[in-house]
Structure 1
Amino acid sequence: MRLLIGTLALININLALSGQSYAGVAEALIPHRAVYDLELQQASDRSGIESMYGRMVYEFNGSACSGYTVGFRFVTQLDTGGTVRLTDQQTTTYENLEEGTFRFLTKSYVNEKLDLEVRGSARAETDGTAVDLTTPRRAKLNLDRAQFPTAQMISLIERAKKGDRFFQSHLFDGSEEGSKVMLTTSVVGSPKVSGDENSELEVTGDFADLPTWPVTIAYFDETKNEDGTPVYRISFELYENGITRDLIMDYGEFALKGTLASLETFDGEGC
């Protein structure tokens, strides 16, 4: 299942940040480990889902000069009434902003058995995105020009700070077996400081009084000419340091709510 990852991470506005802008926003990103409790927010009758819950762990490390690593684990238990299925997606990525390169590995387990492994690398080029897949098949792909997740996150924060409220971009994050670029549409609200009634503020600690942008990102598969609805949509509150809370992950037939349960920050590597 797709997250922001990084998730959070927007072109045909191009990789259009200057080196100075990249450095300014990147320096504000905080290495951290965030744990989210997941619960079913809603499910249609057609989905067949009676209950669903789980946990998501997102760990972000690195710097603009050494590159960024992301570790992501998404575990859910789904009950349809007749069957119970445990899914476990484990992803690790490395992204180098200066070189425009990206490495990815995802292992997906169903009921504790490996169901799919995807491994490869990608490079941003002037006319597209060159992808080298090694697993589950060996292939070299030339895809549309796109950003990688951390570069997209930096671009999102930069545009939000400038007051941009609606924009589109293309993203390659290694999902869809590493074979597709997704069109993303982002809607960013005005920054705000949440009230005391938000239970996640206690977890965010020193960041509780900082403003957040309400963000919604929709992901579209342009290879499918259907009714124009997104494959997936995620909403969250975004801090300028890259930390997120109040997640809603909408897959169409069902939606999951992610509540920030714990947050640990690390010392940055610096440049």
Structure 2
Amino acid sequence: MQPTRRLSLIAALCLLAVPASAQVTAGPRAGVSEEALAAGIARMAPHRAAYRLDLGEARNSGITSVRGAMVFDVADACEGWATRQRMTLTVVDREGQEIETVSDYATYEAKDNSRLRFSLTQSTQGAVSQRVSGEAELRPDGAGTVRFTDPAGQEETLPAGTLLPMRHTVLAVEAARAGRRILSAPLFDGTTNEGAQDTTTVITAWSAAAGTPRFPLASGASGQMRIAFFERGGSAAGGASQPEYEVGLRYFENGVADDITMDFGDFSVTGRALELSPLPGGC
């Protein structure tokens, strides 16, 4: 859920108003104990999430409608997670011109945050517009190297404290459960060939389950989060203020998200879950 676009919103500036005791900064476990981390990993639910995508806001962009779909699978592969995200998005402007983008993104991530294999293929109007693939290896402190097979031969250094995508989800949920409001860390997901991005996750209060859930997998406690992505070295904590991209979502304690917002700057796209179903797997 992380295409790179420049944004006009600055949700991460909320960092300035949050007391330091409510913040979690980068590190191998981002301030989470080994026991809490292990429990958080065990709570992650293998599942399939299918979303309908619609236009959220259009900010003087000339966009009149958006339609699309996204399917996100998380499978428990014993020592790691295998994920796949497939998305189709059609954007229509005021002249009626339609632009269709299709992406297919797959990863295998070790549960100890030590390795990520990744592959992304994106097509626009039926022609391949982007390919990214390779493998990242991280040491216990989060520092490491990513070696790309596409673009062939490219290498990037990852800074200490780097988190992989599922580890970031676990830590964001655990930070929310502990009553913290901010998680700041470099994140590498393999969706671009630019290495890690700085991220700041702003978390609202963690809420107990309420009412009748739409899906059994989305029935526990949950919290709203907004993740801002910055060029490396340009996070709010580092002094700059303008994120490149933002994602808003509601996470449940099992890592399932039933509503998402992807903000591309000129416009935003909302995703509402049509299906949340368990997937088999594990040891």
**What range describes the TM-score normalised by the shorter chain of this pair?**
0.7 to 0.9
Of the three residues 57, 62, 66, the one matched with 2:76 is 62
> Which residue number corresponds to residue 221 of structure 1?
231
> Which residue number corresponds to residue 236 of structure 1?
249
> Which residue number corresponds to residue 91 of structure 2?
78
Kindly indicate whether the alpha-carbon contact (under 8 Å) linking 2:109 and 2:115 is maintained by their aligned counterparts in 1.
yes
Provide the rounded CA distance (Å) in 1 between the counterparts of 2:55 and 2:113: 40
Q: Which moved more, 1:158-167 or 1:19-28?
A: 19-28
Q: Which moved more, 1:119-128 or 1:91-100?
A: 119-128
Superposition deviation, residue 76 in structure 1? 0.2
Kindly indicate whether the alpha-carbon contact (under 8 Å) linking 2:51 and 2:275 is maintained by their aligned counterparts in 1.
yes
Identity %: 26
Kindly indicate whether the alpha-carbon contact (under 8 Å) linking 1:70 and 1:92 is maintained by their aligned counterparts in 2.
yes
Deviation per residue, 1:5-57 (Å, 9 max, x gap) = xxxxx852333445433321111111000000000011112x23121110111
Deviation per residue, 1:119-166 (Å, 9 max, x gap) = 100011347230101112321221323110111111111211111112
1:172 alignment partner AA: F
Structure 2: gaps (5+ residues): 4-23
> Which residue number corresponds to residue 26 of structure 1?
41
Provide the rounded CA distance (Å) in 1 between the counterparts of 2:110 and 2:220: 29
Q: Which moved more, 1:124-133 or 1:104-113?
A: 124-133
The aligned runs of 1:37-116 (5 Å cut-off) are 37-45=52-60, 47-63=61-77, 65-80=78-93, 81=95, 83-98=97-112, 100-116=114-130
The aligned runs of 1:1-271 (5 Å cut-off) are 2=2, 11-16=25-30, 17-45=32-60, 47-63=61-77, 65-80=78-93, 81=95, 83-98=97-112, 100-125=114-139, 126=141, 128-145=143-160, 146-177=162-193, 179-192=194-207, 193-195=209-211, 201-202=213-214, 204=215, 206-222=216-232, 228-270=241-283
Kindly indicate whether the alpha-carbon contact (under 8 Å) linking 1:108 and 1:117 is maintained by their aligned counterparts in 2.
yes
| Total equivalences in the alignment | 255
Structure 1: gaps (5+ residues): 4-9
Provide the rounded CA distance (Å) in 1 between the counterparts of 2:218 and 2:175: 23
Deviation per residue, 1:33-88 (Å, 9 max, x gap) = 0000000011112x23121110111000115x421111001210011225311100
Q: Which moved more, 1:122-131 or 1:71-80?
A: 122-131
- Greater relative CO (CA pairs within 8 A, separation 6+): 2
2:250 alignment partner AA: E
Provide the rounded CA distance (Å) in 2 between the counterparts of 1:164 and 1:210: 19
2:226 alignment partner AA: T
Deviation per residue, 1:188-233 (Å, 9 max, x gap) = 112234556xxxx42x1x2454221111111111356996221111
Kindly indicate whether the alpha-carbon contact (under 8 Å) linking 2:202 and 2:227 is maintained by their aligned counterparts in 1.
yes
1:27 alignment partner AA: A
Provide the rounded CA distance (Å) in 1 between the counterparts of 2:25 and 2:202: 14
Structure 2 vs 1, CA of residues 209 and 133 (structure 1 numbering), >3 Å: closer, same or farther?
closer
Provide the rounded CA distance (Å) in 2 between the counterparts of 1:224 and 1:217: 14
Provide the rounded CA distance (Å) in 2 between the counterparts of 1:187 and 1:224: 17
- In the superposition, the TM-score normalised over structure 2's length comes to 0.82
Kindly indicate whether the alpha-carbon contact (under 8 Å) linking 2:105 and 2:121 is maintained by their aligned counterparts in 1.
yes
Kindly indicate whether the alpha-carbon contact (under 8 Å) linking 1:116 and 1:136 is maintained by their aligned counterparts in 2.
no
CA RMSD between the two structures: 2.3
